Amino acid sequence: MSVGDVVYAAYARRVARQLKPAGIPRHVGVMLDGNRRWAKERGGSTAQGHQAGADNIANLLSWCEEIGVEVVTLWLLSTDNLARPAGELRPLLGIIERAVTDLADAGRWRIHPVGALDLLPVETAQVLKAAADSTRDVEGMLVNVAVGYGGRREIADAVRSLLQEHARAGTTIEELAEVLDVEHIAEHLYTKGQPDPDLVIRTSGEQRLGGFLLWQSAHSEFYFCEAYWPAFRKVDFLRALRAYGERRRRFGA
C-alpha cells in the first residue's frame, strides 16, 4: 500500500466518523455522469468510459449498504440518450445489460427497473425484467435502475396510467377532476410506494437535474461533485453524506 493509499484511507475514516446516524438519507439518487469525458482525458474510447463507469456501480452500492441507505436510484440511460448514434448506443446498452445482470447475480440487492421500457430494444427490456424477477424476494437494499428514463416522460406515463385506471372504473373526466390531487399521480409513478430521494448526487461538475426524478426530488437535497463518475471514490460519497447531514431540511417551509 502506497503512502497515498494510507493517507486516503485515514481521511475517509475521519470523514466517516463525522457522520451522524440521524443524518443518513433513506433514499439516494445518483446521476452517473462523466464517463465519456473521463475516457477522453485518458485517450480511451467512449465504450471504455462507459465500462469504467459500470465497474464502479457495485462499489457505490456497497458504500450505501454499509452506511444504512435503504433505496438507491441509479440513472444509467436517459430518454435523450436513446438518440445517440447507433455506434455508441448499442455498446452502451450492452454494458448496461451486463452491469444490471451482474448486480442481480450478486443476490444482495433488489433490482427495480424505472423508465419507459417500451422505448428500449426488446433484449434490453428483457434483461431488466429478468433482473427484477430474479431479485424479487431479496431482502437487501432496493436499487432502482433508471434506463430509458426521463422525468417528463415518467409524469406523462403516470397521468396516462391514472386516466386508464379511472376509465376502466367508469369514472368520468368531470368526476376525476373533482378529486384529483398529487397523491393520485404519485401512486402511478415508476417509484410508487417508495420514499422520495433525500439526497441526489450528480458527478462530473454539472449542476443541473437534466430531468432526473423531477416529481420525486421536489424536497431533495442536491450535491454536485467535480469527479467524473468512473473516478468517484468512497471519500467523495462520504463528503456528500457529510454535506447532507450538515443541512437543515425545510421541505419548502
Q: What is the set of active-site residues? A: 33, 81
* Selection from 59, 44, 48 nearest residue 12 by Cα: 59
Cβ neighbours of residue 108 closer than 8 Å, sequence gap 6 or more = 61, 65, 138, 140, 141
Is the CB of residue 61 less than 8 Å from the CB of residue 141? Answer: yes
Run of H or E residues at 3: helix 3-17
234 — phi, psi (to 5°)?
-60, -40
Q: Using CA atoms, how far apart are residues 172 and 167, in angstroms rounded to an integer? A: 7
Cβ atoms < 10 Å from Cβ of 3: 7
The cell for 235 is 471519500
Cα 180 from chain centroid?
28
Bridge partners of residue 77, in order along the sequence? 147
- Residue 69 has a CB neighbour count (10 Å cut-off) of 21
